[in-house]
Amino acid sequence: MVRIRLRRVGGKKQPSYRIVAADKESPRDGRFLEILGYYNPRTEPATLTMKEDRIYDWMSKGAQPSDSVKQLFRTAGLMERFARFKEGESIEVLLEEAEIAAQARVGSPKTTGVTPTKKSRPEEETEVELEPEIEAKAEPEVEAETEAEPEEEAEPEKESDLDSEAGE
């Protein structure tokens, strides 16, 4: 039996998924028959792209979507369009409707949970806040150096006192 399910791709702790048609017995990330779309839950809102004509074809041949894929299909409105496809509605009309729905879903392509880069604004603000602390730390060092200088001058005087005492 063929299932339409998610196949995990992406790095560690950065999941994104391919929607694939695969044999029910195949492992989650194993062998598949065809890539039918992509799903990225890390973007806000989640990115979902599908080849609806191929999904209709696989589902009409008896492929069953997994529970998670079925939920994604409902979110995108694909299950309603597939029901209309089975009743005999033209696939061209359904695909145009799907394209309009996909454009309405599209949001910002930025992912969530991404650490800011060095060029980002929040780090620049922290650097500005750190500068007065650096200046405050630099002032005690200068004072310490000025205090150290009289001690050095005092030591040669002691040596000259010792020389004068030795001469006496």
Question: Which tokens is 13 given?
Answer: 């702790």
Burial tier of 51 (Cβ tally within 10 Å: 0-12, 13-18, 19+): middle
Q: What pLDDT score was predicted for residue 21?
A: 92
Whole-prediction pTM:
0.58
Q: What pLDDT score was predicted for residue 132?
A: 53
Q: What's the longest Cα–Cα distance across the chain? A: 125
CA distances from 11 to 14, 15, 17, 65, 101 (A): 5, 6, 11, 25, 29
Q: What pLDDT score was predicted for residue 126?
A: 46
Q: What pLDDT score was predicted for residue 113?
A: 58
Q: What pLDDT score was predicted for residue 31?
A: 81
β 34-40/47-50 pair status? antiparallel
Q: What pLDDT score was predicted for residue 118?
A: 57
Question: 101-121 in b/e burial notation, b at 16+ Cβ within 10 A?
Answer: eeeeeeeeeeeeeeeeeeeee
Q: What pLDDT score was predicted for residue 129?
A: 54
**Distance from the Cα of residue 21 to its chain's centroid:** 27
Q: Which residues of the chain have pLDDT under 70?
A: 106-168
CA–CA separation, 57 and 77 (whole Å): 17
